Amino acid sequence: MQAMILAAGFGTRLRPYTDFKPKPLFPVLNRPLLVLTIERLQDFGFTKIIVNCHHLQEQIVAELAGLDGVLIQQEDRILGTGGGLAKALALMEDSPILVTNGDIYHTIPCDKIYHDHCRQQAAVTLGMHDFSRFNRVWVKNGLVTSFDQPEPEPGAARLAFTGLQVINPACLEKTAKDSFSCVIDLYRRLIREKKGIHSFRTDAYYWTDIGTPDDYLFLHRDLLAGRVPAWKNFGGISGRQFIGQNVRLDDCRLDGWCVIGDNVQIGRGAVIKNSVVWPGCRVKSGRLVEDMICHI
């Protein structure tokens, strides 16, 4: 099985943090989310994984160097989801490909949505759930009928797209590979052409993205509180404070929940509360870090 992780975007809602680090490399419990996602896909049996990159791409290339079964597609300009997928056609096999956003954390079984797509013989399968904040897609009788329409046809449910999808590569052949496009425009065309877009419901599984600083912090808060199932890549999680290796704590105070990255130094009298401190940070003496991402 093959998969692709979309990791090229600018992460504008996460600035200024994404001015220093691309969003897919944001650490989750001290490991890059992109690497965790690759390992999880491999655990599900995906042996070829394509990763596209553009913003701060040299960091992604360096992080993924030497990983077995991983192909990196560097993009000189931003191509969007449609253009990025079309450009990757040259790297794909002639079989369905699972595509996932590079900024989501979830417990959806990726092999199940892939095999369901194959059984349904669909052109495209979208992972869908009821998530009111993002409910913009209309689904009826297991098929996606429209995107962002204010009024649905009778009997349709308004759901959210999880960012997890399975696509037959042939669907991408008419999409320009060297210019910006959105894959949703392709899906609108497939709907007009009566080529069914199948819906795979994922309501039974946990899902979040890290699209904003609050989303990123809340994921860590909930992981440490045991409210979110932890991927096995993390090993054991014990307590509300997750501290990395080679950390120097100089008579400081850790309050509430917190994640302290590897090689961090925290000065005397500093207070870390309900925050994530990235690897390598130096926190000055007396500083208060509360409800925030500490990235430098």
Residue 233 lies in a domain: no
CATH code of 28's domain? 3.90.550.10
Position 174 scores a pLDDT of: 84
Q: Are residues 183 and 245 in the same domain?
A: no
| pLDDT digits 0-9 by tens, 251-294 | 899 999 999 999 999 999 999 999 999 999 999 999 999 999 99
Residue 126 lies in a domain: yes
Residue 74 lies in a domain: yes
Residue 235 lies in a domain: no
CATH code of 282's domain? 2.160.10.10
Residue 220 lies in a domain: no
Q: Are residues 9 and 90 in the same domain?
A: yes
For tokens 């199948």, name the residue: 198
pLDDT tops 90 at residue 136: no
Q: Are residues 111 and 252 in the same domain?
A: no
| pLDDT digits 0-9 by tens, 59-79 | 999 999 989 999 999 999 999
Residue 48 lies in a domain: yes
What mean pLDDT do residues 37-64 have?
A: 97
Counting the structural domains of the chain, the total is 2
Q: Are residues 46 and 95 in the same domain?
A: yes
Q: Are residues 158 and 266 in the same domain?
A: no
Position 193 scores a pLDDT of: 86
Position 176 scores a pLDDT of: 79
Q: Are residues 102 and 26 in the same domain?
A: yes
Picking from 160, 193, 209, the residue at the C-terminal end of a domain is 209
Q: Are residues 100 and 189 in the same domain?
A: yes
Picking from 163, 192, 209, the residue at the C-terminal end of a domain is 209
Q: Are residues 190 and 270 in the same domain?
A: no
Residue 181 lies in a domain: yes
Position 232 scores a pLDDT of: 81
Query: Residue 282: which domain range?
Result: 240-295
Residue 143 lies in a domain: yes
Q: Are residues 26 and 88 in the same domain?
A: yes
Output the pTM of the full model: 0.92
